Amino acid sequence: MGCLLLILCYLKALLSNKTILIAPLDWGLGHATRCVPIIRQLMKDNTIILGVTALTRLIFDEEFPELKKTELPSYQIEYSSILPLWLKLGLDSPRITGVIINEHKILDKIIDEHKIEIIISDNRFGLYNKKTHNIFITHQMFLKSPVFNLAAQTLNKNYILKFDEIWIPDFENLWESLSGELSHGEHYHKNIKYIGAQSRLKDTNAPTFQKNYDLLILLSGPEPLRTELENLLLEKLKGTNKTVAFVRGIKKQDDKTQDGIEVLDFPEKEKLKGLILGSKKIICRSGYSTLMDVYALGKKDLVLIPTPGQTEQEYLAKYWEEKFGAKCIEQNKIKTLPL
């Protein structure tokens, strides 16, 4: 609680009457959702401009229809059903570097057009400028790469050092940390602020009617691995006598009932909060934003299925298993999962 009070005082004292650009990475929706409580706090005393892509608009048009938005290039992170993510990203690094260079160039025009004074970038490496005060949000100060870790960490560090300060959405004390070694270590940046867990669901009103479920499945993340996990879990659930809510995490079709399972594509946040609170057990990816959401709502009976080859999620799943009692299972072993 102490670090949260400190950051609120900081926001009030130093980030008032400013024009601020806030822009999250569009690697899934987690970076956008964890920015929501930060935006709500800052918009009380500042003018906020949101940097968006087609994907992050899904969240920001719902949460902040009144705020100005400016388009940014998409990172278009895609997974492979064959290659591990670290290798896929390595092969894709020239294109991603091009996006970073492009957004850095575009930023000059955005700053001049909107009179931006402060930039808050959630993992968008190119959003810094000499004209502005530049803040970077990340929970990955220290990477977990199975090969070339030193090279990856050096690259990550060099980008992060271009920013004036770093905000880490976690707790400073390691004993209560949600991200463990990803955000705790011998810091190389002189201006670090731990801002506590950030969840848009914490202060959201739950629906007045709340149905109870034995099991809630929360899917997230880029394709094709999101669909692969969906198919594996639907197959696993065939013939179940449990009450199940299945959130697919995409906007494609209307909600429906399939083989006795309540399937929802992209529920509004109030309904999502009600689903989480009303479920005995939750099966989900070990994405950090999802973990912050279930932590904020006090849910502990978790089954975490890390995205294959995504070393950050693999680390977080094992860390939460050891520290918080979650169950960790690999995607290729879902058939053995007791429900």
pLDDT, residue 94, reads: 85
Summary mean pLDDT of the chain? 89
- 66 φ, ψ (degrees, to nearest 5): -85, -15
Looking at residue 306, the DSSP 8-state letter turns out to be: P
Residue (of 150, 62, 159, 142) closest to 104 by Cα position? 159
CA angle 30–32–36, rounded 5-degree value: 115
Query: What confidence tier does 1 reach under pLDDT thresholds 50, 70, 90?
Result: very low
How do residues 252-300 score in pLDDT, each as one tens digit?
A: 656 667 767 899 988 888 999 999 999 999 999 999 999 999 999 999 9
CB 249 within 8 A of CB 283: no
Enumerate domains of the chain plus CATH numbers: 2-194 (3.40.50), 213-336 (3.40.50.2000)
Note the pTM of the prediction, 2 decimals. Answer: 0.91
pLDDT, average across residues 44-52: 96
Percentage of the chain lying above the pLDDT 90 cut: 68
275: left (phi over 0), alpha (psi -120 to 50) or beta: alpha
How do residues 173-210 score in pLDDT, each as one tens digit?
A: 999 999 999 999 999 999 999 999 999 998 877 666 67
CB 187 within 8 A of CB 193: no
- Above 90 in pLDDT, residue 305? yes
pLDDT, average across residues 308-331: 95
Q: Distance (Å, rounded) from C-alpha 132 to C-alpha 117?
A: 5
